[in-house]
Structure 1
Amino acid sequence: MQAVDALAARLLAHIASTADEIATLHVHNAKSKAIQDHFAVLLREELGFGEEVVLTPQTGLVTQARPDFFFTLAAQRGIIAEVERGGTMTNNHDLKDLWKAQVAADAHHLFLIVPHNNWREDGSPRERPFLTVSRRLGAFFGDERREIDVLSVHVFAY
């Protein structure tokens, strides 16, 4: 957990230090790839995450999970990092990302990077993914009946 928390702290510092740049990228009708590319500078180039890595296939599951970014901590221990934008809530990408971490034999941690707000054309917020995602994913922790095989989820807002 110390290594995971240290990487999370670096990501949080990156978001804070590049907030103005992120604001120019995260506008109405912008491409999700622009946001992912922004975070690739830190995750891939500085921290050593692999990008679009195909995870180990699971017996009995039809999946070729390929997260945006993946970091190997140890054998069968790693961090999936997903960068979301417009489909975070409308397409339940947050829950799909949690499922991906749940079924991945290689990962037990999830970094989920989501917007504070998604914008309408007039510049007003149309939804606030960060608060909703934090609440939804938090529901999987703290009650044995709902617990999953994911040790930690860090939700970051940009």
Structure 2
Amino acid sequence: MAVAMRAFVQQGVADGAEWATVHGVAEKLLAHLNEPEALEQLAVANMPGQSSALVQATFAEFARDLGFVDESRGLFDSYENRALRPDYYLPVGANGILLEVERGKTTINNMDLLDFWKCHLCEHANYLFLMVPQELRQNATMSPRREFNTVVKRMASFFVPRNYTNVRGLCVFGY
């Protein structure tokens, strides 16, 4: 199954150079994730019982080649909860992108919303790349949960002008 991407961006940001750069990075990542070898690795990483760390391992080298730093520290030093860390961070000019990878707890434990909140708080990033399974099975016998569709529906509400946050743009990747 091909990796899907759904992008959201605030009005007034969509036509700017910063979003063009961010969206360009997203397109490069999406193209990489849709290469045959990457798709095979993602399929194995999304089997029941696997962790998001295995998903991360499928594209970690490519993310570093794009300039992402994994487990970037110091982005939340001005807050009481300094220990917050994104899975990956990429500086973009005076701004940046947080990249978060979820698997088993995506919507069950609201990790998608936690990742959005984390980006909302981050003084160094106003853009979020959120990777979630298109379909999630916690075990081999359960019916799949449609995580990508659920996350897209949940996140769309934040990109209605009356609900804007510090997250100017979001790309949800469904692997």
TM-score, normalization by structure 1: 0.91
Alignment check: 8 A CA contact 1:58 1:104 kept: no
Matched position secondary structure for 2:158: coil
Identical counterparts, % of pairs: 34
1:31 deviation in Å? 2.5
Alignment of 1:35-74 (within 5 A): 35-44=55-64, 46-54=65-73, 55-59=75-79, 61-74=80-93
Matched position secondary structure for 1:121: coil
Partners of 1:9 and 1:123 lie apart in 2 by 34
Matched position secondary structure for 2:106: helix
Paired residues in the alignment total 154
| Structure 2 letter corresponding to 1:74 | G
Partners of 1:142 and 1:71 lie apart in 2 by 26
Partners of 1:37 and 1:106 lie apart in 2 by 25
1:57 deviation in Å? 1.9
| Structure 1 letter corresponding to 2:68 | F
1:19 deviation in Å? 1.3
Q: Is 1:20 the counterpart of 2:40 in the alignment?
A: yes
Which structure is higher in RCO with an 8 Å CA cutoff and minimum separation 6?
2
TM-score, normalization by structure 2: 0.82
- Which of residues 85, 91, 96 in structure 1 aligns to 2:114? 96
1:125 deviation in Å? 3.8
Superposition RMSD in Å: 1.5
Structure 2 alignment gaps of length 5 or more: 1-18
Question: Which residue does the alignment assign to 2:53?
Answer: 33
| Structure 1 letter corresponding to 2:84 | A
Moved over 4 A (4+): none
1:58 deviation in Å? 2.7
Partners of 1:123 and 1:20 lie apart in 2 by 22
